[in-house]
Amino acid sequence: MRKNSAKAMAVIGSAVLAMGMLAGCGSSAEETTAATTAATKAATEAETSAEAEETTEAAAEETEAPADLSGSISMVGSTSMEKFANALAESFMAKYPGVTVTAEFVGSGAGVEAVTNGSADIGNSSRNLTDEEKAAGIAENIVAIDGIAVVVDPANTVEDLTKQQLTDIYTGTITNWSEVGGENTPIVVVGREAGSGTRSAFEELLGIEDACKYANELDSTGAVMAKVASTPGAIGYVSLDVLDDTVKALKLEGAEPTEENIKAGSYFLSRPFVMATKGEISEQNDLVKALFDYIYSDEGSEIVKSVGLITVEQ
């Protein structure tokens, strides 16, 4: 018998004992009847309370992922998602010590390819999936929203660019900072390599796919940050969550790259963080399903926020 039922039985037993004592002491019929009614009510309330507690406990047991999860989960993909993926893996493994989560950061395209060919459980992509990728059976599971920050070297005097000015800089129409209110300094256009989710999202949002005139095409977010920080006149784009004081983030159309402005729609450079799977989440193994349950839980939302990303509604 469960402990809550035992509590109810104890209350009932006490009520019966009390009625016996009243009867033995010569109490009147009315007193005995009143005592009986009170005891019966107490016993019924105790039984109802015990059943409610058992139902609550059962529901909690059913919704909580098993603590004895074990095995491994592999993630491959976006370098922009490195900070989030590492934080997620660390937190999930702390909760489930029997699980190992590995993450490799080789670009969004490579991540989607890895999950498509079955060499990874999850493909991390810092862009929406293409129609061709979806047609191949890959599910687009958006886990967070990221802003793309446009950064320059700290000494640059320019504070704000319009969408058209940014477009003209990256397509080579504007080549000197003096053309947009800055110093007479040549613009060094820095970007990511082909296949990068950040590059794909940036060019798509500006409508300049395959039209950029890059001076440098670098293979990681960190490399872009380092190049811009150390190169006078440089401009680049990086994930919002990696911003630090080594570079200067520009306003776009008067809006700073912040969560509030992205949610309000006033800052136009934003993109999804996708954890792609081959087939829907419901079709994945128990470990992968448990990971997504965790991502979309309150604990997962806190991880998203802790690395500077924006949560998505489920």
The answer to whether residues 28 and 172 belong to one domain is: no
User: What pLDDT score was predicted for residue 314?
Assistant: 67
The answer to whether residues 290 and 141 belong to one domain is: yes
User: What pLDDT score was predicted for residue 195?
Assistant: 86
Q: Which residue has the higher pLDDT, 261 or 6?
A: 261
Q: For the beta carbon of residue 71, count every other beta carbon within 10 angstroms.
A: 13
The answer to whether residues 164 and 252 belong to one domain is: yes
User: What pLDDT score was predicted for residue 197?
Assistant: 87
When mean pLDDT is compared across 85-99, 101-115, 174-188, 299-313, the lowest value belongs to: 299-313
User: What pLDDT score was predicted for residue 2?
Assistant: 43
State the average pLDDT over residues 37-43. 50
The answer to whether residues 106 and 249 belong to one domain is: no
Q: Which residue has the higher pLDDT, 19 or 313?
A: 313
The answer, yes or no, to whether residue 33 has pLDDT greater than 50, is no
User: What pLDDT score was predicted for residue 264?
Assistant: 85
Distance CA 275, CA 169 (A): 32
Confidence at 41, pLDDT banded by 50, 70, 90: low
The answer to whether residues 58 and 104 belong to one domain is: no
Q: What is the 3-state secondary structure (H, E, C) of the chain?
A: CCHHHHHHHHHHHHHHHHHHHHHHCCCCHHHHHHHHHHHHHHHHHHHHHHHHHHHHHHHHHHHCCCCCCCEEEEEEECCCCHHHHHHHHHHHHHHCCCEEEEEEECCHHHHHHHHHCCCCCEEEECCCCCHHHHHCCEECCEEEEEEEEEEECCCCCCCEECHHHHHHHHCCCCCEHHHHCCCCCECEEEEECCCCHHHHHHHHHHCCCCCCCCCEEECCHHHHHHHHHHCCCEEEEEEHHHCCCCCEECEECCECCCHHHHHHCCCCCEEEEEEEEECCHHHCCHHHHHHHHHHCCHHHHHHHHHCCCECCCC
Q: Which residue has the higher pLDDT, 118 or 68?
A: 118
User: What pLDDT score was predicted for residue 68?
Assistant: 78
The answer, yes or no, to whether residue 88 has pLDDT greater than 60, is yes
Confidence at 84, pLDDT banded by 50, 70, 90: very high
- Interaxial angle between packed helices 298-306 and 82-95, expressed in degrees from 0 to 180 and rounded to the nearest 10: 140
At 60-80, the pLDDT tens digits run 443 355 567 999 999 999 998
State the average pLDDT over residues 266-293. 96
At 167-211, the pLDDT tens digits run 999 999 999 999 999 999 999 999 999 989 899 899 989 999 999
Distance CA 226, CA 92 (A): 31
Largest CA distance in the chain: 108
The answer, yes or no, to whether residue 17 has pLDDT greater than 70, is no
By the 8 A CB rule, do 110 and 277 touch?
A: no
User: What pLDDT score was predicted for residue 166?
Assistant: 98
Q: Which residue has the higher pLDDT, 111 or 10?
A: 111
The answer to whether residues 208 and 152 belong to one domain is: yes
The answer to whether position 40 is within a domain reads: yes
The answer to whether residues 137 and 283 belong to one domain is: yes
User: What pLDDT score was predicted for residue 56?
Assistant: 42
The answer to whether position 37 is within a domain reads: yes
By the 8 A CB rule, do 95 and 67 touch?
A: no
Query: 45: domain range?
Result: 3-63
Q: What is the mean pLDDT of the chain?
A: 85
User: What pLDDT score was predicted for residue 37?
Assistant: 52
The answer, yes or no, to whether residue 58 has pLDDT greater than 50, is no
The answer to whether residues 120 and 170 belong to one domain is: no
Q: How many domains does the chain divide into?
A: 3
In this structure, what CATH number is given to the domain that contains residue 98?
3.40.190.10
The answer, yes or no, to whether residue 101 has pLDDT greater than 70, is yes
When mean pLDDT is compared across 8-12, 69-73, 139-143, 252-256, the lowest value belongs to: 8-12
User: What pLDDT score was predicted for residue 308?
Assistant: 83
At 209-245, the pLDDT tens digits run 999 999 999 999 999 999 999 999 999 999 888 899 9
The answer to whether residues 243 and 153 belong to one domain is: yes
Nearest in space to 38 (alpha carbons), one of 22, 24, 56, 53: 22
User: What pLDDT score was predicted for residue 240?
Assistant: 87
> In the block, which residue shows the tokens 């004895």?
68
The answer to whether residues 165 and 244 belong to one domain is: yes
